[in-house]
Amino acid sequence: MAWEKVLEYSSVPLHGTMSRKIRKGVRLQIGEGKIYDGAVLFISDLFLRVTEELESGEAVNTYYDMNRIESIRTYSTKE
């Protein structure tokens, strides 16, 4: 899957888990939706789960159907 490669490029593995954290200095946007910064990704063949922590301490999981993702945009600082 092409999206899996984009997601792997924009994130790093979390030690001891199957999840990945968005790289420092990189922000990720799925479709034209929310821009994620510092979120944790779980990538499967069927879905993408994005977990983010709110200021209140709550964890919010957002799920995307991998077959319905039309675009992924990455934002980073120019080196």
CA separation, residue 9 to residues 5, 18, 33, 58 (Å): 6, 15, 20, 27
**What per-residue confidence (pLDDT) applies to 2?**
87
CA-CA distance, 5 to 2, in Å (whole number)?
A: 5
- DSSP H helices in the chain: 2-9
Q: In this predicted model, what pLDDT tens digit does every residue of 35-73 receive, in sequence order? A: 999 999 999 999 999 999 999 999 999 999 999 999 999
Average pLDDT, the chain: 94
More confident: 1 or 28: 28
**What per-residue confidence (pLDDT) applies to 78?**
80
For the chain, the domains span: 2-76
